[in-house]
Chain A
């Protein structure tokens, strides 16, 4: 009886693990750079999402501002001060940065999106019934049940984003990172975990508070 319970539990755990890994969203920093000479702490951060689409850009910038503010930074989203319909050039952005008194710029850029297929092949296990009940029940080994994990095939998307932190005064980069976001559901839902990963790293590297 207990053996069957353990068997059922094992199947449930394996299935849950597979489901979790299939549906999982992951943000991974694949390359990171920091200017070792930079020692400052930003007074005001200007966040700009370099996206053609206004909606996702505002969501991204707002999330960055929210998470940076939570850590005690002062941050401003670019869409609140830059015109909506036209794509501002570099000089216009820098002029606005100066106008709002920001000393650090966080620029987030979408680089590419790829679609990949992941396939987990079938595995089959023979589980003896009564396996773990007691020494006495080992005779029950003559009854076995084949349980297996079905082969699973699913598509996942991978987005690559580049985040660069510039010093407004020198216009030089002080930190940058390439992040790969692997996901299955809507890309818009990846904004929060991506921002969390970046802001956490920025804080660890002491680029922001």
Chain B
């Protein structure tokens, strides 16, 4: 009985955590013609302007790859931030890919953002005075006779509005051999603070999706 209850609680918590996840997958695409299980040396690129954010992002991805025994390299170790900007970025990446014997490149970039304004209306909560007394099972329900005390008991809150900010991100996986896109995911992350705070949860969601596709040699 207790075990069943525990399972139910865990299930409820799981559902709640999924429902509250800041990152929601919007679209996933996979090249069905691509023969999976081949890729084994991955260059991770986070197209982020801030160096700390880029390092944190790329290293977090690398941890997931290493955990699965796949070789992965953070781009910040081999390519400076300015090398990822401008028209020469592709050439700089291609050169490093060749040098390091990379078989796949995983690129993440911010593709947009949006703001949603939500208004929470004011509320007045009215409670009956007799209610707490009547709920004492051990005391019997004598209180449910209905003690009625006059006077206000109405906690009120004012209406207010708040903004939800969302960041749209796209992660793409390229096969170096063919230079073609083999997998892509578009997601939206709700920001509850600084965008950098969402790095770990974002990588967790995307890595889970990515490794389910069995594209890498394991």
Contact = CB atoms under 8 A, between A and B. Distances in A.
A125 B154 CA distance: 7
Contacts of B159: 121
Contacts of A33: 52, 55-56, 59
Contacts of B153: 126, 128, 144
Nearest to B197: A30
B151 A144 contact: yes
A55 to B, nearest CB: 26
A176 interface: yes
A91 interface: no
B156 A31 contact: no
Contact of B194 (A123, A128, A143, A178): A178
Interface in A140-173: 141-144, 146, 151, 160, 162, 164, 172-173
A101 B196 CA distance: 35
Contacts, number: 75
Contact of B156 (A124, A128, A180): A124
B160 interface: yes
A20 interface: no
A156 to B, nearest CB: 14
A32 interface: yes
Contact of B52 (A119, A124, A151, A162): A162
Nearest to B63: A36
Given A121-B158, A141-B151, A142-B149, A32 B56 contact: yes
A30 B152 contact: no
Interface residues of B, number: 26
Given A141-B149, A164-B51, A178-B50, A30 B193 contact: yes
B20 to A, nearest CB: 20
Interface in B107-162: 129, 149-160
Contacts of A123: 155-158
Contacts of A111: 50
Nearest to A163: B52
A124 B153 CA distance: 10
Contacts of B154: 124, 126
A122 interface: yes
Contact of A176 (B55, B152, B155, B156): B55
B53 interface: yes
A84 B199 CA distance: 39
Given A162-B52, A178-B50, A178-B53, A142 B151 contact: yes
Contacts of B77: 172
Given A126-B152, A177-B52, 12 more contacts: A30-B196, A31-B194, A31-B197, A33-B56, A36-B59, A123-B157, A126-B154, A144-B151, A160-B194, A162-B51, A173-B51, A173-B55
22 contacts: A28-B194, A30-B197, A31-B196, A33-B52, A33-B55, A36-B59, A122-B157, A123-B156, A123-B157, A123-B158, A124-B154, A126-B154, A128-B149, A144-B153, A162-B50, A162-B51, A176-B55, A178-B50, A178-B52, A178-B53, A178-B194, A178-B196
Interface of A: 28, 30-33, 36, 111, 119, 121-126, 128, 141-144, 146, 151, 160, 162, 164, 172-173, 176-178, 180
Interface of B: 50-53, 55-56, 59, 77, 129, 149-160, 193-194, 196-197, 199
